[in-house]
């Protein structure tokens, strides 16, 4: 960032440091003006850099935490913000850990700032971790799906802030699947590390909206409430397509993967490889057992930082290639695609193995991913999509009504 630009941003911020005050009815937010580019919360430095001056700041960040093209932490340090520590989520602060791999505490080699992992021995900051900070900045790109673990980390951080009487500043970002509100609301019998809250598979919220919901619905431990300041995304509504500038995690490495993820991640609970161990995860689906049923094939291999022991490693898998699937069809339908899992179950010669994923204890259960104890048997019994969807009611419709209370965007 050039000095003149930095100076201008700081002057503008001193003149107008505004935060979102939660209105009684969030739906009163006007539609963004046509023709204006989306600006993330982080990009609007004039709205929060002056507020952070003189404070001891902690940051929850990863490679998606950027201002322009530069990392948030590097940018804030150059603007004179005192960042005393960084908290790292799944995949680590710099994003170099494999999915599900435990991450150790370390010192960031680029800045010398201590990094405390929240995806290792602990998943929540201790009171000691919180004692020497004044404010915690949360800036992680989410993809709008219940089993993407960023919102779980957000809730735990909110709890830590509430318990230590510290404030959280959320730099909000668009939800690339913001148009999609679908799937069964989580039956809390299946609460796990990949589903902690009674929301549908695709929840249609930004992280700031989710934070307001977690506060408002009493989902934090002991029904604590976290003091929030929110920098909204400018010129945004939930129906806007949004192409992510940085891959949100190692295996969501293309925009196609991000948009297919709500429909293809459920295959983690099956005996189907969904592209882990390839350079195109979440966009291909296959198994060696489908040889002769499909002509498309791929071979999963060990890839450091992505999938080191993928299902069917070094075996040729046959199935569906969705890399060129027209994702506009998903947007038009407003629904998760269930036909792919129905099709591959019907094509599988050994159906008794279909829902045996051979993965971790949590990811290996279709019930934890879908959030319902009915889905497995519905597929086995060849229930129609209409029947399956009917079983998601009235929970899904009730959620949509409740969601409206917490919206920051039209």
If one compares 327 and 250, the residue with the highest pLDDT of the two is: 327
Given this model, what pLDDT does residue 108 score? 84
Give every CB contact of residue 334 below 8 A, 6+ residues apart in sequence.
Answer: 179, 180, 181, 182
Q: Compute the distance between CA of residue 289 and CA of residue 220 in angstroms, rounded to an integer.
A: 44
Confidence band of 295 (pLDDT split at 50, 70, 90): very high
pLDDT at 206 over 90: yes
pLDDT at 102 over 90: no
Given this model, what pLDDT does residue 157 score? 97
Q: Are the CB atoms for 47 and 19 separated by under 8 Å? A: yes
Paired sense of beta strands 167-171 and 227-231, if any: parallel
* Spatial CA neighbour of 284 closest among 311, 249, 260, 309: 260
The top-level CATH class assigned to 3-244 is alpha beta
pLDDT at 9 over 60: no
Long-range contacts of 245-250 (CB under 8 A, 24+ apart): 245/66, 245/69, 246/63, 246/64, 246/66, 246/141, 247/63, 247/64, 248/64, 248/141, 248/142, 248/143, 248/148, 249/90, 249/91, 249/95, 249/99, 250/91, 250/95, 250/98, 250/99, 250/305, 250/306
Confidence band of 34 (pLDDT split at 50, 70, 90): low
pLDDT at 10 over 90: no
Q: Are the CB atoms for 318 and 294 separated by under 8 Å? A: yes
Share of the chain above pLDDT 90, in %: 79
Confidence band of 36 (pLDDT split at 50, 70, 90): confident
pLDDT at 312 over 50: yes
Q: pTM score, two decimals?
A: 0.89
Q: Compute the distance between CA of residue 23 and CA of residue 27 in angstroms, rounded to an integer.
A: 9
Q: What is the DSSP secondary-structure string of 352-394?
A: GGTT---S-TTTT-HHHHH--SSHHHHHHTT--HHHHHHTTTT
Confidence band of 23 (pLDDT split at 50, 70, 90): very low
Rg (Cα) of the chain, in Å, rounded?
21
Given this model, what pLDDT does residue 104 score? 77
pLDDT at 96 over 70: no
Give every CB contact of residue 180 below 8 A, 6+ residues apart in sequence.
Answer: 144, 202, 204, 262, 330, 331, 334, 335, 336
Query: Domain limits of the chain?
Result: 3-244, 255-373
Given this model, what pLDDT does residue 357 score? 75
Phi-psi map region of 165: left, alpha, beta (phi>0 left; psi -120 to 50 alpha): left
Confidence band of 11 (pLDDT split at 50, 70, 90): very low
Given this model, what pLDDT does residue 177 score? 98
Least confident range from 271-285, 300-314, 392-406: namely 300-314
Q: Are the CB atoms for 378 and 384 separated by under 8 Å? A: no
Least confident range from 12-16, 36-40, 60-64, 309-313: namely 12-16
* Spatial CA neighbour of 344 closest among 263, 281, 276: 263
* Spatial CA neighbour of 5 closest among 69, 55, 79: 79
Given this model, what pLDDT does residue 6 score? 42
Least confident range from 28-37, 100-109, 114-123, 259-268: namely 28-37
pLDDT at 323 over 70: yes
User: How far apart, in Å, are the Cα atoms of 273 and each of 146, 194, 276, 282, 318?
Assistant: 21, 19, 7, 9, 10
Q: Compute the distance between CA of residue 323 and CA of residue 326 in angstroms, rounded to an integer.
A: 9
- 332-354 as b/e: b if 16+ CB within 10 A: eeebbbbebbbebbebbeeeeeb
Average pLDDT of span 285-304? 97
Q: What is the pLDDT of residues 111-128, one digit of tens each?
A: 899 999 888 788 899 999
Given this model, what pLDDT does residue 97 score? 55
Average pLDDT of span 195-219? 98
Q: What is the pLDDT of residues 48-87, one digit of tens each?
A: 999 999 999 999 999 999 999 999 999 999 999 999 999 9
- Averaged confidence pLDDT in the chain: 89
Average pLDDT of span 368-386? 97
Confidence band of 95 (pLDDT split at 50, 70, 90): low
Q: Compute the distance between CA of residue 300 and CA of residue 293 in angstroms, rounded to an integer.
A: 19
Q: What are the beta bridge partners of residue 60?
A: 87, 138
Average pLDDT of span 350-374? 82
Average pLDDT of span 221-225? 95
Q: What SS3 state is found at 14?
A: helix
Q: What is the pLDDT of residues 334-344, one digit of tens each?
A: 999 999 999 99
């Amino acid at each position: 960032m050039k000095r003149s630009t930095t100076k201008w941003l700081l002057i503008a911020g001193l003149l107008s440091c505004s935060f979102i005050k939660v209105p009684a009815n969030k739906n009163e937010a006007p539609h963004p003006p046509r023709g204006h580019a989306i600006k993330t919360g982080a990009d609007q430095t004039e709205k929060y850099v002056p507020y952070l001056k003189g404070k001891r700041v902690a940051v929850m960040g990863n490679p998606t935490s950027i201002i322009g093209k530069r990392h948030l932490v590097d940018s804030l340090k150059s603007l004179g913000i005192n960042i005393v520590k960084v908290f790292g989520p799944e995949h680590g602060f710099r994003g170099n850990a494999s999915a599900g791999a435990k991450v150790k505490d370390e010192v960031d080699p680029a800045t010398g700032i201590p990094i405390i992992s929240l995806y290792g021995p602990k998943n929540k900051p201790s009171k000691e971790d919180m004692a020497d900070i004044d404010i915690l900045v949360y800036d992680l790109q989410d993809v709008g799906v219940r089993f993407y673990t960023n919102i779980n980390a957000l809730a735990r951080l909110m709890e830590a802030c509430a318990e230590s009487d510290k404030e959280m500043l959320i730099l909000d970002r668009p939800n690339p699947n913001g148009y999609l509100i679908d799937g069964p609301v989580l039956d809390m019998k299946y609460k796990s590390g990949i589903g902690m809250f009674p929301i549908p598979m695709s929840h249609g919220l930004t992280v700031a909206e989710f934070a307001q919901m977690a506060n408002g619905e009493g989902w934090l431990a002991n029904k604590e409430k976290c003091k929030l300041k929110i920098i909204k995304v400018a010129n945004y509504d939930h129906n806007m397509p949004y192409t992510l500038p940085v891959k949100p995690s190692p295996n969501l490495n293309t925009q196609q993967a991000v948009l297919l993820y709500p429909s293809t991640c459920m295959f983690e609970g099956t005996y189907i490889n969904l592209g882990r161990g390839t350079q195109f995860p979440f966009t291909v689906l296959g198994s060696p057992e489908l040889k002769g049923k499909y002509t498309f094939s791929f071979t999963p291999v060990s890839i450091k930082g992505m999938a080191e022991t993928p299902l069917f490693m070094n075996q040729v898998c046959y199935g569906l290639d969705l890399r060129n699937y027209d994702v506009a069809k998903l947007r038009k339908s407003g629904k998760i695609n269930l036909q792919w899992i129905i099709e591959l179950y019907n094509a599988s010669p050994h159906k008794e193995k279909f829902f045996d994923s051979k993965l971790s204890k949590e990811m290996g259960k279709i019930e934890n991913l879908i959030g319902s104890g009915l889905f497995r048997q519905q597929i086995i019994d060849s229930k129609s999509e209409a029947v399956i969807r009917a079983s998601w009611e009235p929970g899904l419709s009730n959620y949509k009504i409740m969601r409206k209370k917490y919206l920051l965007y039209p």
